[in-house]
Chain A
Amino acid sequence: MSTIDVTVPVAGSPAAGIVRTKHRLGERLVILSLAASAGLSIAVTVGIVASLVQPSVSFFREVRLGEFLLGTTWAPLFTPPSFGVVPIVVGSLLITGIATLVAVPLGLGAAVYLSEYADQRVRKVVKPALELLEGIPTVVYGYFAVSFVGPYVQRWWPLGDTPGVFSALAAGLVMGIMIIPTMGSLSEDALRAVPIDLRRGGYALGARRYEVATRVTVPAALSGIVAAFVLSVSRAIGETMIVFIAAGNTPNLTFNPGEAVQTMTAFIAQAGTGDLPQGSIGYKTIFAVGSLLFVMTFVMNMLSNRVVARYREVYD
């Protein structure tokens, strides 16, 4: 495209050359603007990092890093404030853990069924349906968690004090349902990428279907399944509306799923609705917690990309 040789335009000539001379400059501009829109994605990343870093730095001038990361009382908007982030990190991990316990076995089981057992016709209906369900807005899940699952958790809670309608368990269960399609769909892709010959080899050795599935296909697709797992966990940690609506918004250092907790995302949303004055320590707290959340999900996404990249090398 860098050639500048141009057909000499002759007035009135029907040759395409006339049009072309005009196009060359225009074309360069078009390509330049296309390149700029591709470069915009870098600007977005830079923007995200910049928007997080500057207020965070100023946050950590007032609050020691150790106090933030190790402190066990989270009350940044109270007087006197306390900036120990552990309770809301544990809240995020607790709910993510519950969601993972629900979504990983169910999603993986469904994926193995769809790729190894199901009729083509069943697959063709179920897979797009699962992908459709991935698009249900998370506020709707939140509504379901608080008005349907919450009361059941309250009624059927087996040990100790009865939990309130808001609990880590209700939010975690519903978040688990939310990420089943992600886990299932991505694992199914990984399983189907395993060459059919490997399965045939297994059958030729006299293995049964479940043996081929558990000892050949799943191990062969393991890296893809791990990547699906990591992405699902990352989605669960970053999810906001379900936990904001259903987990109770109570910073609470507990591993008891029957209690109300607050997650990092729910704190950010709560502080965001509060219309805090710019420059106040409470406002900066949003960015400090946001940085922590960003780093956690970023590391997980990179990890999952890495795993997928390695896995691709195996069968291409």
Chain B
Amino acid sequence: MGTVALDGARPRKRFLNTGFLVVLWLCLAIGVVSLIVLLVYVFVQGAPAFGPRLWRRFPSFDPAEAGARSAVFGTIYTVALTAAFAVPLGVGAAVYLEEFADRDHWWSRLIALNIQNLAGVPSIVYGILGLAFIARGPLGLGPVILTGGMILALLVLPMVIIASREAIRAVPPSIRDGAMALGATKWQTTWRQVLPAAVPGIATGIILALSRAIGEAAPLIMIGAFVYVPFMPTGLDSKFTVLPIQIFDWVARPQAGFSQLAAAASMLLLLILLGMNAIAITLRNRYRHRW
């Protein structure tokens, strides 16, 4: 009864309580609705131009003829290279930091802090690094697929390391103690017990990192990736383009046909990302250990 009396005595508070909830609810709703509008808009605009021609035809100056074959394959090759660099290096660094390094040593702390900071460096700055050191400068590889894969690998490396560290840390110490008690060396313990147990978490982190790499355009623009590539990538030293750059090029063109193509290619990119995320979530849910 007491609360009822209180409510009656303070209608202002009750109003504030409800009002606050309504405001919060609106915040969430506005955020979610804007993102839904974005997705729906892209899909509605892109649907008429979406189809196999996107990955069958090469870019063209005629929007009715144009496709994104070189960009689709450029994306696949670049991301494969990114994975080839970033996965061993990232997982290796995470294993070292979690299993072998003395965590309180200044060097380990410096590395951990440094990785945190690298994760916050804008992607275009990685592009500058790529321009100065890889595309031109000491390595001088030029604007080729290898350069693109390397620079995207450096970009996502912090993400891979952070996610892998978390996955490795989640493996309980009892597993390590058990293996060591049976006479395994530290490395045998890590390689045969800890890493297999951490694989689902690591794989999820890798997929999320690669989906970030797939969407990046800015660093590749900096190293001079081309916007018009009417041929398939032939090797590591081949000139290339990727889907985000192709989209950027189409957005910048005035004809309506290209704007529609940009939306269709965005759709394709979003579907690829959605697929990758679905795989990541499934992996996380299906293989997550309950210790």
Interface residues of A (CB under 8 A from B): 1, 16, 20, 23-24, 27, 30-31, 33-35, 37-42, 44-45, 47-48, 51-52, 55, 105-110, 112-114, 117, 126, 128-130, 132-133, 135-144, 146-148, 177, 180-181, 184, 206, 208-210, 213-214, 231, 234-235, 237-241, 244-245, 265, 268-269, 272-273, 275, 278, 286-287, 290, 293-294, 297-298, 300-302, 304-305
Q: Are B218 and A245 in contact (CB under 8 A)?
A: no
Q: Are A142 and B100 in contact (CB under 8 A)?
A: no
Interface residues of B (CB under 8 A from A): 6, 13, 16-17, 20-21, 23-28, 30-32, 34-35, 37-38, 41-42, 45, 88-90, 92-93, 95-97, 100-101, 110-111, 113-118, 120-129, 131-133, 136-137, 154, 157-158, 161, 183, 185-188, 208, 211-212, 214-218, 221-222, 224, 244, 247-248, 251-252, 259, 262-263, 266, 269-270, 273-274, 277, 281
Given A38-B97, A44-B129, A135-B273; 6 other pairs, CB 8 A cutoff: A31-B187, A106-B27, A129-B32, A144-B41, A210-B21, A302-B117
Q: Are B132 and A287 in contact (CB under 8 A)?
A: yes
Q: Are B217 and A37 in contact (CB under 8 A)?
A: no
Overall SS of chain A's interface: helix
Please give me the residue from chain A that is nearest to B21 by CB atom.
A117
Chain A contacts for B101, CB-based, 8 A? 35, 38
Contact A177 B277, CB 8 Å, known A34-B95, A44-B157, A210-B17: no
Contact A290 B17, CB 8 Å, known A31-B100, A143-B263: no
Q: Are B266 and A107 in contact (CB under 8 A)?
A: no
Q: Are B248 and A1 in contact (CB under 8 A)?
A: no
Contact A301 B124, CB 8 Å, known A126-B32, A137-B214, A278-B136: no
Chain B contacts for A140, CB-based, 8 A? 38, 42, 215, 247, 266, 269-270
Chain A contacts for B214, CB-based, 8 A? 137
Which of the listed residues B92, B161, B212 has the most CB atoms from chain A within 10 Å of its own CB? B92
- Distance in Å: Cβ of B51 to nearest Cβ of chain A: 19
| Complex Cα–Cα for A224 and B8 (A) | 37
Contact A47 B129, CB 8 Å, known A143-B247, A275-B224: yes
Partner of B251, one of A133, A142, A213, A239: A142
Q: Are A268 and B93 in contact (CB under 8 A)?
A: no
Contact A305 B113, CB 8 Å, known A27-B187, A113-B27, A269-B218: yes
Partner of B117, one of A141, A146, A298: A298
Please give me the residue from chain B that is nearest to A140 by CB atom.
B266
Subset of 5 A-B contacts with CB under 8 Å: A52-B128, A129-B32, A137-B216, A140-B215, A272-B127
- Distance in Å: Cβ of B256 to nearest Cβ of chain A: 10
| Complex Cα–Cα for A193 and B100 (A) | 30
| Complex Cα–Cα for A139 and B248 (A) | 6
Q: Are B20 and A214 in contact (CB under 8 A)?
A: yes
Q: Are B132 and A55 in contact (CB under 8 A)?
A: yes
Partner of A16, one of B92, B123, B183: B183
Please give me the residue from chain B that is nearest to A132 by CB atom.
B277
Partner of A286, one of B117, B128, B137, B218: B128
Please give me the residue from chain A that is nearest to B97 by CB atom.
A38
Q: Are B125 and A48 in contact (CB under 8 A)?
A: yes
Q: Are A141 and B38 in contact (CB under 8 A)?
A: yes
Partner of B124, one of A141, A180, A265, A305: A265
Q: Are A37 and B27 in contact (CB under 8 A)?
A: no
Chain A contacts for B133, CB-based, 8 A? 47, 51
Partner of A177, one of B17, B35, B131: B35
